[in-house]
Structure 1
Amino acid sequence: MPGIDIKDRQRRCVLPFEALPAEVRLLRRAAVTQLSQWGVPTADDVTQLLVTELATNVIKHVGEGSPATLILEWKRERLRVEMHDKGSSLPSVRTVDCDAECGRGLHMVAAMAVDWGTVVTALGKAVWCEIELGSDAVCLRTERAVDALEGYRERGGSVLHGRCEAALEESAVELIADLLHWTSARGLDPDDVLDRAQMHYEAESEAA
């Protein structure tokens, strides 16, 4: 299940998949990994539920094995989750029978999201919803760090390629090492720079 990450001020990740029960678990895992790489892991639980409900709706109402696409967009204080498929019928919220096993998907989506809707697309339809991340989840420093690491990895060697956590961690280590070389080349004390950075980090963590 390849992901396509489009880098801009509004982070966007596109995850095509086949609407199969086994794929739903992989889709949830891919979504969690992406949120972690963006630095917004606080949305993991709600996002997994939304992904499960939306993907399950595709299986039930469009057809098992049909092609679909999950799109995640991080727009600072909100995360947008879109499910695209080739179905032509727009879903609607209906009265739910409390004893029924089906028909609860959109009610759950509406309950968890701050906004949601459906739209006709060139290939079918999309169901979208947005969840609030909260100010603590959208840290400017974290956002800048993700920007730096992704850009640094793209310019790095083959060791830094890939989208796994290990690749990002290796990028972070290499980036810090290069910054220490940069400070030393300009006559600064690398240990002093690290101490000052640690002081900034601890002060901001205590204030949060």
Structure 2
Amino acid sequence: MPGYDITEPRLRCVLPFAAAPAEVRLLRRATATQLAQWGLPTATDEAELVVTELATNVVRHVGEGASATLVLERRGGRLRVEVHDKSRTVPALRPTGCDEECGRGLHLLASLAADWGTVLTATGKAVWCEVEVGMAQECRRVERAVEVLEAYQDADGVSAVQGRPRQAVLEESAVELIADLLHWTAARGLDPDDFLDRAQMHYEAEAA
């Protein structure tokens, strides 16, 4: 998968590939390597998920062996990920209850992305997705944590008592959620301490 970088006016990397599961794995690795070179390691997890979904959609809906191209581009506070293929069939969001073949992956993209869309090109189409990097990504992580904690409150029956600060309720939910996650790791034969250490290392890398 040859590629090239353009440093002016913005960082850009182009990676042609043939649609296949093995190529999807290589694209993830290439994405992580490229983001490390650009000094954007904290965006790697989300970018790899986006690349996986977009490239896998080409394999499923255009066909194995189809020619496609991955484009990574740093635009200010966002990382833009594009996948170009030769099909002019534009994907669309379907109801969340549908099966995997009818676009459930697009809901994942919509939840991860700051923005996303599709555009017809001279040779087919491009599906693009933008994720936040830097401070904007940190703010988005905080917002996402609040959303998860509020949903956890509802699922666990934790609710704000009249006169009780919302912050205190969120903190209690955070402790309960972390405890549940530790039980989840132990139930799967993992080391809860190692799990916490890995989370701490991930947080410190992003905070730095």
**Normalised-by-shorter TM-score class:** 0.5 to 0.7
Q: Distance in 2 between the 1:136 and 1:20 partners?
A: 33
Q: Distance in 2 between the 1:25 and 1:57 partners?
A: 14
* Corresponding letter in the other structure for 2:109: V
| Local SS of the residue matching 1:32 | helix
1:114 aligns with 2:114: yes
| Local SS of the residue matching 2:70 | strand
Identity of aligned residues (%): 64
| Local SS of the residue matching 1:95 | coil
TM-score (norm 1): 0.63
Match in the other structure for 1:164:
none
Which runs of structure 2 are paired with 1:58-69 in the superposition (5 Å)? 58-69=58-69
- Aligned-CA RMSD value: 2.0
| Local SS of the residue matching 1:126 | strand
* TM superposition shift of 1:136: 8.1
Match in the other structure for 1:148:
none
Match in the other structure for 2:20:
20
* Corresponding letter in the other structure for 1:77: G
* TM superposition shift of 1:79: 0.3
Q: Is the 8 A contact 2:13 2:72 kept in 1?
A: yes
1:31 aligns with 2:31: yes
Q: Is the 8 A contact 2:19 2:66 kept in 1?
A: yes
Match in the other structure for 1:92:
92
* Corresponding letter in the other structure for 2:89: S
* TM superposition shift of 1:97: 2.2
* TM superposition shift of 1:75: 1.2
Which runs of structure 2 are paired with 1:136-175 in the superposition (5 Å)? none
Gaps in structure 2 of 5+ consecutive residues: 138-206
Match in the other structure for 2:77:
77
Match in the other structure for 1:101:
100
| Local SS of the residue matching 1:92 | coil
* Corresponding letter in the other structure for 1:62: V
TM-score (norm 2): 0.63
| Local SS of the residue matching 2:53 | helix
* Corresponding letter in the other structure for 1:56: T
Q: Distance in 2 between the 1:33 and 1:74 partners?
A: 14
Match in the other structure for 2:195:
none
4+ residue stretches of structure 1 with deviation over 4 A?
none
Larger Rg computed on CA atoms: 1
Aligned residues: 139
| Local SS of the residue matching 1:118 | strand
Could you give the per-residue CA deviations for residues 105-152 of structure 1, whole angstroms, max 9, x where no partner exists?
111111100100000001100000101113388xxxxxxxxxxxxxxx
Deviates more, 1:88-97 or 1:37-46: 88-97
